[in-house]
Structure 1
Amino acid sequence: MATRQILMSNSNLSHVQIWGAMEQVHFFYRSFSVFRRTLALFFLSGLAGCGNVNISSMNAIGANITPIRQLTPQQNNTTVYIQGKIEKHIPLLNKHAYQLKDSTGSIVVLTNQTDLRVGSQVVFKGQLRYKSIPLAGQEQGGIYLEEK
């Protein structure tokens, strides 16, 4: 209303011209508002995409998930994808270890990730490692995954 009064007092425009100008200004602001909302939604969806990779997105890009039972010491230093549920968190000095379990077995995963929760489903890509531990003449070593 104040804009219309200013336009009428400072010009020789008719009421029809003033209302036409007001409608154009209103359309511009409404379009700008829609643009801002769309831009905000775009940025928020981008931020949401920066979270941890979950199982469905890894399977969507065709990652070959290896069941834990199929991992062997002979595969030492090979890169594999594994998925499962985090059963236990083991904080270490410079890294974190998580015990990961799938329907075929469990394995320890070494990673720098600190925000993983017990009970969450995750996918890891890493190098399979084997640590030999001879104890009383018997091999007690095991395999683990080091995330890269």
Structure 2
Amino acid sequence: MPKINKSVAFMQQTRNLSLSFLYRRHSIVPYRLGLTFFLAAGLCSCGNLTSSGLSGNGLKIGTNVTPIGEIKPKQDNQAIVYIQGQVEKQAPMMKQWAYKINDSTGKIWVVTNQKNLGEGAQVVIKGTVRYRSIPLAGKELGEVYLEEE
């Protein structure tokens, strides 16, 4: 019987102490809770949550992602774009790798130092638009590609 009395007394003490730290006279916890609340509210009010680029429909990372179909051969060779898509093919080069990235608007080759992108992987890549001219028998067979930053 004494064991039960001890455990009941311990349970009553812990119940009395469970929230008492919030009501101490010089406790810092209420200040921390208040500061955390105001910081979170301030961060949420800094921007419009609907235009943040995060979307539940599909895999949309940011609003600054350029659709592959909009990257044109006449575009400035120094343009930096972000693309997003799925790795369709991979080709090893001397010191780099080339990956064919596919999104719903088109396909483009990306030259990068990354070796670990498998076929089917979803990727977001920042790169510089490049164009390699290949004139052959009076026809232009050049192609646009990205060189990863």
Q: TM bucket by the smaller chain?
A: 0.5 to 0.7
Instruction: List 4+ stretches of structure 1 deviating above 3 A.
Output: none
Per mean C-alpha deviation after superposition, the further-off stretch among 111-120 and 70-79 is 70-79
TM-score by structure 2 length? 0.58
Give the superposition deviation at 1:59: 5.5
Which structure 1 residue ranges, 5 or more long, are not aligned?
Answer: 1-55
Matches within 5 A, 1:1-148: 62=62, 64-75=64-75, 76-148=77-149
Note the alpha carbon deviations across 1:89-127, whole angstroms, 9 max, x for none: 101111000000000110000000011111010000010
TM-score by structure 1 length? 0.58
Identity of aligned residues (%): 53
Q: Secondary structure at the match of 2:87?
A: strand
**Higher Cα Rg: structure 1 or 2?**
1
Give the superposition deviation at 1:74: 2.1
Quick check: which one's helix share is greater?
1
Note the alpha carbon deviations across 1:32-67, whole angstroms, 9 max, x for none: xxxxxxxxxxxxxxxxxxxxxxxx7x955x451111
Distance 1:84 1:59 in 2: 10
- What RMSD, in angstroms, separates the aligned Cα atoms of the two structures? 2.0
